Chain A
Amino acid sequence: MSKTIPPTCPEPETGRQYWRSLDQLAEKPEFRQWLEREFPAGASEFDDPVTRRHFVKIMSASFMLAGIGLASTGCRRPLEKLEPFGQQPSDYVYGVPQFFATAMPTRCGAIPLLAKSYEGRPIKIEGNILHPDSNGGTDRWAQASILNLYDPDRAKRFSKGGVVMRSDDAIAFLSEISKKYAANQGQGLAFLIERNSSPSRLRLQKVISQKMPNAKWFSHEAIDMDVHRRAASQAFGASVKPYFKYDAAKVIVSLDCDFIGAEEDAHSNIRKFVDGRRIKNPGDSMNRLYVVEALMTLTGMNADHRLRSPANAVAQVAEALAAEINGQGGSAVPAGVDPKWVSECARDLLANKGQSLVVAGYGQPLAVHVVVNAINSALGNIGKTVVLHETSDLHEGGIADFAKAAASFETIVVLGANPAYNAPVDVDITKALESAKGRILRLGYFEDEIFPYCEWHLPLAHYLESWGDAFSGDGTLVPVQPLIQPLFGGLTEIEVLARIAGEEKTSPYDIVRETFTGISGSNEDAVWRKFLYNGFLENSAAKSVSARSAGSASSAGAKAAALSKDNLEIVFYRDYKIDDGRYSNNGWLQELPDPVTKLVWDNTVLMSRRTAHELGVKNSDVVEVKVGGRTVSGPVWVQPGMADYVLGLALGYGREWNGRIGYQVGFDAYQLRTSDTQGFATGATISTTGKTYPISTTQNHWSMEGRPIIREANLSDYKEHPDFVEHMNGEAPPGGFRPMYPNPFDTNEKTGRPAGHHQWGMSIDLTACVGCSTCILACQSENNVPIVGKDLVARGREMHWLRLDRYYTGDVQKHKWNGLRTDNETFQDTDRQQFEEWIDDPQVVTQPMLCQHCEAAPCENVCPVNATVHDQEGLNLMVYNRCVGTRYCSNNCPYKVRRFNFLDFNKRSIKELKGPFYPPFFAKGAFAKWLKDPQDPKAGMRQDDEWDLIEMIKNPDVSVRMRGVMEKCTFCVQRIQQAEIAQKVKARDTGNILVPDGAESKDPTALKTACQQACPAGAIVFGNIADPESKVSKLKAQQRNYSVLDFLLTKPRTTYLAKLRNPNPQMPDYREPYSLGEYETKDPNPFEEEHHEEGAAAEKGMK
């Protein structure tokens, strides 16, 4: 499984030449020329049979046929054509995946990746563990981005005025532009771009600016993370960009900053945050997180102290905090906030000067960020926890400037941006685009809302199809390397810019190479190859600018608005799933349960219990939200832990021009968002409509009901009683444990050796798990897990093998509603929980729940056909071929981790995902098709254009399950098998067939499960528990280790490390974890001495 490095270009032609058509054989110059024009990216290496690029070209024959013979018809469905290699590439082995280092560009950086490719098809995204600022973890969007590559709804054609054109017509048009504006210095030319960190793009921008100085540049991001840069630049008086080192901070204060969830580089922040919390011994120290926020975010879920506060009051909290830190205590705090909360928080910060960090979120105004910079400066954090990187500012205009000037441009080049959908409403973008209609050239991934205004629409290449470059968060240069030729002949931004610039080299490869040469200062092939192999340029991380002191906090005298049910605040937030709407056509993300709300396929009007009570609304009621004379309507969802009188509206939904998945999912919150209220708006009101709307969620019940499922403690209590988890074990039934199956640890009677060489097990650290849900998508991608659609999720049929259970825990004293305390409230309908008082200020715990691989698995002995069995290495195996689908195993699974294919999910068309759940067996043509050829696996449901792409994303190592079959987590048995086979091959005569522990290995091919690989927190560790030296064994040996539902004696191979919190005893809201209070309503406190002694005595008595 080595990595193939694409050869440098051009390369002398070697080997035998093959012809592909009679024309080629004839080597007619016209053909040659036409080919060159058609494939500028690869023309020079077109006839070199040994390159990887040639290989992928053959495999993606779809592209060829779409491009060559039938270009005039545009998006023909790609025909698959298998051709043997003319010459076997030297290091390619059939069936063995190849890995290529690449990166996914984001707004301000990039995620370093390793993409896995099978027979030329990229099928899985993994993090690049070699990258200096990565642990191999990724985020949700990176994992799901591969689905976008195979999206049947992506832009597939070059079009002019809606008419399909040949790609060379478009390219000719680009050179026309180039010539025209080179002549007139760019007068009348405008560019509308999105943010990214590509140095090549920047270089080309500069070239164009030089050649065409009068050309105007505008940038547009619906959710702009650039505020961090602007604030730092303002505060420090230089063009700098902050880089936050959460791992160096002992105390972190987040002012409405969701750095674990929605901020840029969250996956990297998670790793650094968790690194400061990992406990090996009871004596270890832990960082502490204070959060002030309006919504319940992932960051708030992980806070040690959380202050619910409307977003507009955060500025006042920030100033109060700044005043405390500057020793001018007594600054007014917003109403309802305990001044002690702020002062103690400040004291904790002051006690950790240089080891603390205060951050503000992208939704907060610049002023708050400036105050925060001042605080960090005062605390001496600059250069320690906040590193400043030099950056450049192109002084581009914003979308408002663009709208004003749009009518005056002759040609507008839009690269990616879609302001027709997501521009602020006060910018009359419709009018602006209307006035510019017919003069817009757009390069876009979808033919979306802006499409009707475009004269030219060019398909954008996916990042897995294109050459590019970017800087990762720490400033390291990373390559964006293609794994496949553009499926639909899409172009990249840099190619379009290069053509407009009139550059000689328009191949993105050459452009990137040239930029690289400029940055690395070396044109040597070896350096370049190493760059591509590693996926980053060594020691290229940005140099930190020497720390300067920021100006003192501006005392703007921020005053929180008085909110009430008639003056609500709206917080517009970046959705955890579909971002600003760019992933709205991604089915995996639509069906991913939101990490906080667990809702799928929708956005809602989030509000607190009290707000809903005062407004007289409840879950699913459709309400009209009105602010500034504009309204949208959406369903209500009562979100525990939200600040009162705040409404949370996720952006990115309610799209009218998108693919089939995203079309009209949810409501469009952009309709309420103006230039001034990008983060939040006050003065909103709500009116009921009397309608209701069904909402689908994957977890209906919020409370853990006092059961010791997730066990947690404060760090101080844990230090005193490191064995507390044992005292929370349930009482096992008498009679002891009598396994149904021989324990895989048992020795084999014949050989006297353990029956299996490895014993697989998993350990999940609940202190590390922040609930980001990347693991769910990694598992979905690796294991070909289908999506089922909103209606079926409501019916409890979602297929995720790994789910993230999220429980709210609350003060037991508040477990009542309107004074009507009943001890039976647990038994009531789950709908009632939204009215209960304890959800006002809950703590949140999360737990990844997957097949526990019980040694005494209850599922196994109830299957009548032996379809689920145990193997010698401790895996609970599911034999799909044998399964008839009685579903008894699921009924008997105490963890409810088995998933049943109620319908043929892999064959359902996208249309059915969104419609009524009944698949139309009797639908038009389906039955006739089935009668015609019952063996045709494609008979019936999906349309052909979906099949062609959706088939390509499947991992060939994992069976695609048909309907009527049970499935569940396999511990990625395919990866285990590959590792075992590889080790056996490697071992040869040495007999060393034990697979080395992959948990801490830097080798990308080391054995890790997909969830483990993707986890940015490193919370999931898998390995051989028979080896006492493996990481998983060491984790399981910790005293925090426990198994869920231990009293059932199922002996799970997946165990959990208890969650630890680190609250500050001086804080007014210091408390034991709420879950302990809930637990104590039914069981004795695990920390009470008496109980410990009793337990010890009982143990002695037993002996």
Chain B
Amino acid sequence: MAFKVSSTALPVVPADLQRIPLVQNQRGLGWISDRVTAVTEGTPPMWWWVCFIPSLLCLGMLGFMLAYQITTGVGVWGNMKPVMWGWDIINFVWWIGIGHAGTLISAILFLLRQRWRTAVNRAAEAMTIFAVMCAGIYPALHVGRVWFDWWLFPIPNSNGPIWPQFRSPLMWDVFAVSTYFTVSVLFWYMGLIPDLAVMRDRAKTRIRQFLYGLFSLGWTGSNRHWSNYEKAYLILAGLATPLVLSVHSIVSLDFSVSQLPGWHTTIFPPYFVAGAIYSGFGMVLTLLIPLRKLCHLEDIITMRHVDIMCKVTLATGCIVSYAYAMEFIIAWYSGSPMEQFHFMNRALGPYQWAWIPMMGCNMLLPQLFWFKKVRQNVFIIFIMSIFVNIGMWFERFVIIVVSLHRDFLPSSWGYFKPTWVDVCTYIGTFGLFFTCFLLFMRFLPMIAISEVKGVTPQADPHHPLGGAKHEEALPDDED
């Protein structure tokens, strides 16, 4: 791995202590541009169509399901008394959780100067935006009278001074989610501008040239542009950082503000954020492991990246496990019979079948990541990353459905079952997600080209190969 060093002044670093470069195989800057934009240029590969067409069909099904639900009523879903929130809110929280990794990677890791983020942040941010779109469908459309959704916004109106109820956590949700979505989109677009300019410059058709030119906002790559860009990027990162923490905290308040045993708890905000990051990284792994292979990006999204993300998953998984354990301990310590009943009921009640996969996937499974061998095996990681999200789905199921189904008065206990419309709507949101994601990777650079270039060894001015002066000297072993 060591480079041929021409200068003798540098101390020799032992091989195993050397920093592993973020871009492997000494890839040059031009190669990076070529490789990343290659996905968007030329005819799409077969696998893209194989993924895209089913996704589009699922998206169509989503449209049909939502039309059915809006025209007929929430009753087409399985929601019932006492479980008034079912798959609608489960999937809302689940998708919002997934939407956490992107902005965390791009904003918090940016502030923390985690240079490895550059290889994954673009795709992760895109994932965030699409996941939040999927999530947003649910609160907007799960209400009984969709056409009055706008009443949740504080819009001056002539109906007497009727304002939303500012004490309601659902009201806070409206602000939290919409702000998060707006800032995430802005942040993502901000980061795209230099790369859009690259795309513009490489464009071979008038239409591409025009569109990429339009959206790159006249980027020339001048120093002034770069200077402004980086300031703005830093500011947006600063703005986005608290939002990463606030969105899921506020979503968790939907539950903790109520007085339902299983919901009424102060541990929820940190626990939800950790769970969200856990599931978000799970989804990033699920997406990027096949993509790096299919798009031949192994040198940019390296095993080191995968390894780091596995470690983050392990860490957040441990936080979530701690929260699970703590909920039981607090239920015992509180002395509240209702709380105690609830947690026993989670573990032993009729929904035990949901609790077991939740504990298995979120508490036990991530422990495998303690082993380096596991973290190096993309196949195992891929499977595990899927189970992470299955586990997180069950976590939301347990929190929402299991808490609601048996509350204070046994007379109103019930058993929730979803309907086919619930299931098809959920599958439909995958259609939306993957349609958007596949279009994104087809038309936009899914790796932040300029940022990756910035973390290559040759980008370092002090590097022997600094400034990429000797690019032509590097071996160009195309595979």
Contacts and interface: CB of A to CB of B under 8 A. Distances in A.
Interface of A: 699-701, 703-705, 707, 709, 730-731, 740, 792, 795-798, 803, 805-807, 824, 826-830, 847, 849, 858, 861-866, 882-888, 890-892, 894-896, 898-904, 917-919, 921, 962-966, 1044-1045, 1048, 1082
B80 A795 contact: yes
Contact of B151 (A882, A898, A1045): A882
B75 A902 contact: yes
B170 A862 contact: yes
Nearest to A709: B409
B169 A894 contact: no
B225 interface: no
A864 B350 CA distance: 32
A170 to B, nearest CB: 45
B413 interface: yes
Contacts of A701: 406, 410-411, 413
Given A896-B81, A896-B412, 18 more contacts: A704-B410, A707-B337, A709-B410, A795-B80, A796-B83, A797-B80, A827-B345, A849-B411, A862-B170, A863-B165, A885-B145, A886-B142, A886-B170, A891-B85, A903-B73, A963-B73, A963-B74, A964-B146
B7 interface: no
Contacts of B201: none
A962 B144 CA distance: 10
Nearest to B259: A858
A925 to B, nearest CB: 15
Contact of A796 (B85, B148, B350, B414): B414
Contact of B145 (A884, A888, A918, A1045): A884
Interface residues of B, number: 61
A1048 B259 contact: yes
A902 B74 CA distance: 5
B73 A904 contact: yes
A884 B81 contact: no
A1082 B87 CA distance: 34
Given A701-B413, A829-B350, A849-B411, A902 B85 contact: no
25 contacts: A699-B412, A700-B414, A701-B410, A705-B341, A795-B417, A796-B82, A796-B414, A824-B344, A827-B348, A830-B415, A847-B411, A886-B143, A888-B84, A891-B82, A894-B259, A901-B73, A903-B75, A917-B75, A919-B73, A921-B72, A964-B73, A964-B144, A964-B145, A965-B145, A966-B144
A891 B151 contact: no
A894 B414 contact: no
Q: Which of A885, A917, A965 has most B Cβ within 10 Å?
A: A885
Interface string B387-412: 00000000000000000101111111
Contact of A891 (B146, B148, B149, B258): B258
A703 B143 CA distance: 33
B260 interface: yes
Contacts of B258: 858, 862, 888, 891-892
Contact of A883 (B74, B144, B341): B144
Nearest to A930: B71
B68 A921 contact: yes
Contacts of A709: 409-410
**Cβ-closest 4 pairs across A and B:** A885-B144, A964-B144, A902-B75, A796-B80
A807 B411 CA distance: 7
B152 A865 contact: yes
B162 A827 contact: no
Q: Which of A740, A849, A862, A904 has most B Cβ within 10 Å?
A: A862
A704 B345 CA distance: 15
A700 B414 CA distance: 7
A700 B84 contact: no
A887 B79 contact: yes
Contacts of B404: 891
Contacts of A864: 152, 164-165, 168, 170-171, 174
B163 interface: yes
B78 interface: yes
Nearest to A899: B81
Contacts of A829: 349-350
Interface in B227-271: 254, 257-260
B167 interface: yes
A322 to B, nearest CB: 41
Contacts of A803: 411
Contacts of B335: 731
Given A887-B85, A894-B259, A900-B81, A830 B413 contact: yes
B409 A902 contact: no
B76 interface: yes
A888 B170 contact: yes
Nearest to A740: B167
Nearest to B344: A827
Given A890-B81, A896-B409, A862 B349 contact: no
Contacts of B417: 795
Contacts of B170: 862-864, 886, 888
Given A900-B144, A964-B143, A707 B410 contact: yes
Contact of A965 (B144, B168, B171): B144
Nearest to B167: A861
A883 B414 contact: no
A966 B163 CA distance: 19
A799 to B, nearest CB: 10
A963 B77 CA distance: 14
Contacts of A885: 74, 143-145
A730 B151 CA distance: 39
Contacts of B169: 862
Nearest to B142: A886
A863 B164 CA distance: 9
B379 to A, nearest CB: 38
A642 B257 CA distance: 45
A1049 to B, nearest CB: 9
Interface in B346-378: 347-350
B336 to A, nearest CB: 8
Given A830-B350, A866-B163, A965-B144, A1082 B409 contact: no
B165 A861 contact: yes
Contacts of A699: 411-412
B137 to A, nearest CB: 15
Contacts of A918: 72, 76
Contact of A890 (B72, B84, B350, B415): B84
B152 A896 contact: no
A485 B350 CA distance: 56
A807 B410 contact: yes
Contacts of A707: 337, 408-410
A865 B151 contact: yes
Nearest to A805: B411
Contacts of A797: 75, 80-81
B396 to A, nearest CB: 14
Contacts of A1082: 337
